[in-house]
Amino acid sequence: MRPVPPATLTHWETHTLEDGTSITLAGEVALLSRNVVVEGNTYENFAADSFGGRIVVSKRTVGDVEYVGSAQLDGVELRNMGQEGFTDLDDPRYSLAYVGLGTLDTDSSYVKRSSFNLNYNVALGLLGTSGMQVEDNVVYYALDSGEWRTWKKGAMGALTDCRRINNFYAWRISSTAFYYQYYASSLITNVVSVDNRLGVNQIIYSLDLVAMLPIQRLPTPPTPVLAPKMGFSKAGTYPALYGSTHIESVTFSNYENSNCGRDIALLAHPDSEDAIHPVFVQGLTFHQTPQEDYLFIPRAKLSSVDPSDCVDMDCDGHKKVVLRDLDGSLLGVSDATAISQAEHEWDGNPSHGVGDYRIPVSLKQNDDGTQIEAVDKFPNKGKLCNYKPVASRA
């Protein structure tokens, strides 16, 4: 193929990292047309309304009889589907949604070798549905996600302990290349994320507190290459009480400051204000990335000091970040630990609501009622550990 008119600038198909790894910087040519077409109705203001068709495969109970839906799609084109602006998981306005089917029998439903052509919401959603084959499909123009999977407790079925995303390549995604919000452990392995706003965003949230079990949740970011820029999604509920994040054998390349802003390799989620699980890293490699862009821990948000949020003081999430470098590949010292500055604005800006005045009166008095000076009794503020606290902070 030759572009007409000819290209005036040089366009590189691949990029080679310092270690010799070759990264493809080109999209695949995909065939969107199929002989079998399911098409949403079009009308005069169709494009402006972004209101296409949709298919929902689910269950229904009539009397004592339960009817379980199924749909086997192979070589089908879904065109002008999905409806923008509808985000309720109980009413998915996706191009194609499988809802509440539980764990499927082999081949009862599948989507293979099909195309999703112009989607005004998520292209394909699996909600409360697992064990289903989804392979060799093409998604073009999805206003939300290309594919969305979630498993809702209770109404959607039994709990499962782990989800894995393996062997994917994501290039120039306008939002997040790999996004995961779920209550089970997550493994993201053997993926490549290049020139995306955000490479990975994993949120491991809690079960209902009455059902919470002390199960370790282990979100594992990808390997081997990341290159995100910005953008986050908020958690829909509180984080899991038990959990840890393990980042192993990951290569970060070209996280440099530019006219577009600052690129950060490892960034504590700015919206995870209640808690951030301990992070353990090893086997990290950085190419063309200054050390100050390895790690960034945001400050606690002053806007969250509010009766409807963290009441009258800073939220704990960003003040209790702990990251342990097992082999020195991040901090330069084996078994070193990076921690956030928990004492930030202690006795400083009163809007943050932290200072010696928060110490209970009974702890500041001797048995005879005389005053104990806080500076003498509590000279050290913040978190203390056996490692040198090293962290990039706002």
**Per residue in 150-189, pLDDT tens?**
544 333 333 456 777 888 888 887 778 887 776 777 888 8
Q: What is the pLDDT of residue 95?
A: 94
Q: What is the pLDDT of residue 172?
A: 80
Q: Are 213 and 236 in contact (CB under 8 A)?
A: no
Band of residue 213 on the pLDDT scale cut at 50, 70, 90: very low
Indicate if the pLDDT at residue 46 is higher than 80: yes
Higher pLDDT, 279 or 3: 279
Indicate if the pLDDT at residue 308 is higher than 50: yes
Mean pLDDT of the chain: 81
Q: What is the pLDDT of residue 380?
A: 81
Higher pLDDT, 290 or 157: 290
252-286 per-position pLDDT tens digit: 998 888 777 788 999 988 888 888 889 999 999 99
Q: What is the dihedral of CA 212, 164, 143, 183, to 10 degrees?
A: 0
Higher pLDDT, 221 or 15: 15
What is the residue whose two structure tokens read 């010696």? 356
96-152 per-position pLDDT tens digit: 999 999 888 778 999 999 999 999 988 998 988 888 999 999 998 887 655 555 544
> How far is it, in rounded angstroms, from Cα 91 to Cα 128?
13
Q: Please list, residue by residue across 70-109, b when 16 or more beta carbons sit within 10 angstroms of its beta carbon and e when fewer do.
A: eeebeebbbbbbbbeebeeeeebbbbbbbbbbeebeeeeb
Q: What is the pLDDT of residue 159?
A: 41
Indicate if the pLDDT at residue 9 is higher than 80: no
Cα angle at 78 between 76 and 82, to 5 degrees? 150
Indicate if the pLDDT at residue 36 is higher than 90: yes
Instruction: Choose the weakest-confidence range: 8-12, 218-222, 345-349.
Output: 218-222
Q: What is the pLDDT of residue 158?
A: 36
Measured CA to CA in angstroms, residue 310 lies from 275, 316, 351, 358 at distances of 12, 9, 12, 15
Indicate if the pLDDT at residue 217 is higher than 60: no
What is the percent of the chain with per-residue pLDDT over 90, rounded to a whole number?
A: 36
Q: Which two tokens stand for residue 338?
A: 């990076």
